[in-house]
């Protein structure tokens, strides 16, 4: 139980090839990257290759290629720079104890990008093209995949309006790009419980907007709220709905769940909340474990009576919440080894690592 206390020019310098190409390799490409895997954290680390493909008026993405990771060229009038026409995704590649490499539900990321692309008037790669691009990127950067149990290779697919446009309209050309980076824990405090701050004045999304898709335009507007919260010692910000200002929605980059007894509740996704892949997976896992799952409107006041609260996302995985501050009151949650979120985390990670049988075909091996 919670307790409370006061308180286009061409995009690249070289034209894209018509078939998959890889830049010449060196001997280091076959070696493991020299990294302190025990202190990885979540920060940008340049790897070896990125995948690129483009399409124009016909909306069909060509066969992609792998280029050395590096800067790209964009026209100053590119649609993504002037009108924010862009989407991104996030998935991970995991190394198992036997050395084999797997992805977790990449087709769901492809489908989510397609939904987002339709909302943003953009063409999108097919599910097969998307998954193949992710596989190629992971394989090309295989030496950067952390050892078993030390982290994962975070893979970031981007879809951007790369063509030049002056008047407000969809871009005439689009680029699908995938890069990767080895990562550990998302938050600086590692696996320590999160301390959230409920923000009532700044809103992440509103009805009719693009909050339900992974648009690049959803993130910069909340940077100020995040910066202020972190300056005051909080891990992140929990946002409320923009209309009534009383229903919780999500944290800056992850979904949120409440547990009360045997009931798991999460805000319903109705256009202002991103439907995370990890969110979907935790809902299925909870049902398997016998929990009742509710997707509904959740009032902020329910935080006071929740037994536990946790966040989910590709980057954060499953992160317990230790406290939430709302209107000057700090709500604290007991952290214990038998928490529901730790059961969910163990089941999820067990499936990803191959320790627990994958009954739903969530895992895709990279060969």
* Residues carrying an active site annotation: 214
**Alpha-carbon gap, residue 165 to 162, rounded angstroms:** 9
One DSSP character per residue, 83-142 reads: H--EEE--EEEEE-TTS-EEEESHHHHHHHHHHHHHHTT-----HHHHHHHHHHHHHHTG
299 neighbors 289 (Cβ within 8 angstroms): no
- For the CA atoms of 68, 70, 71, 72, the dihedral, rounded to the nearest 10 degrees, stands at 20
From residue 263, give the alpha-carbon distance in Å to each of 85, 289, 290, 294: 39, 11, 9, 7
Pairing state of beta strands 49-55 and 65-68?
antiparallel
Pairing state of beta strands 194-199 and 317-326?
parallel
287 neighbors 276 (Cβ within 8 angstroms): no
**Alpha-carbon gap, residue 321 to 40, rounded angstroms:** 22
From residue 212, give the alpha-carbon distance in Å to each of 216, 222, 272, 276: 12, 15, 5, 10
- Of 129, 182, 117, residue with least CA distance to 315: 182
222 neighbors 239 (Cβ within 8 angstroms): yes
**Alpha-carbon gap, residue 235 to 189, rounded angstroms:** 8
């Amino acid at each position: 139980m919670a307790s409370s206390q006061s308180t286009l020019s061409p995009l690249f310098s070289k034209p894209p090839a018509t078939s998959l190409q890889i830049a010449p390799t060196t001997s280091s490409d076959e070696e493991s990257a020299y990294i302190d895997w025990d202190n990885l954290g979540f920060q940008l680390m340049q790897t070896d290759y990125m995948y690129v493909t483009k399409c124009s008026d016909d909306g069909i993405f060509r066969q992609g290629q792998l280029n050395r990771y590096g800067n790209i060229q964009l026209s100053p009038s590119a649609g993504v720079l002037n009108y924010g026409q862009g989407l991104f995704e996030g998935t991970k590649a995991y190394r198992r104890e036997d050395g084999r490499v797997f992805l977790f539900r990449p087709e769901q990321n492809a489908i989510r990008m397609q939904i987002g692309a339709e909302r943003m008037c953009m063409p999108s790669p097919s599910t097969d093209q998307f998954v193949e691009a992710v596989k190629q990127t992971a394989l090309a950067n295989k030496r950067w995949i952390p050892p078993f149990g030390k982290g994962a290779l975070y893979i970031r697919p981007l879809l951007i309006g790369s063509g030049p446009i002056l008047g407000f309209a969809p871009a005439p050309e689009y680029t699908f790009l995938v890069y990767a980076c080895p990562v550990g824990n998302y938050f600086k405090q590692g696996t320590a419980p999160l301390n959230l701050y409920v923000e009532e004045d700044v809103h992440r999304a509103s009805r009719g907007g693009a909050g339900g898709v992974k648009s690049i335009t959803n993130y910069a507007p909340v940077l100020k709220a995040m910066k202020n919260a972190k300056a005051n010692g909080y891990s992140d910000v929990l946002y409320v709905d923009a209309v009534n200002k009383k229903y919780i929605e999500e944290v800056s980059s992850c979904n949120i769940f409440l547990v009360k007894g045997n009931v798991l509740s999460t805000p319903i996704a109705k256009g202002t909340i991103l439907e995370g892949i990890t969110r979907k997976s935790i809902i299925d896992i909870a049902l398997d474990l016998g929990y009742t799952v509710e997707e509904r409107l959740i009032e902020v006041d329910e935080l006071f009576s929740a037994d536990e609260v946790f966040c989910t996302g590709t980057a954060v995985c499953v992160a317990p919440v230790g406290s939430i501050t709302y209107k000057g009151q700090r709500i604290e949650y007991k952290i214990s080894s038998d928490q529901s979120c730790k059961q969910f985390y163990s089941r999820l990670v067990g499936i990803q690592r191959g320790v627990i049988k994958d009954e739903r075909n969530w895992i895709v091996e990279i060969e």
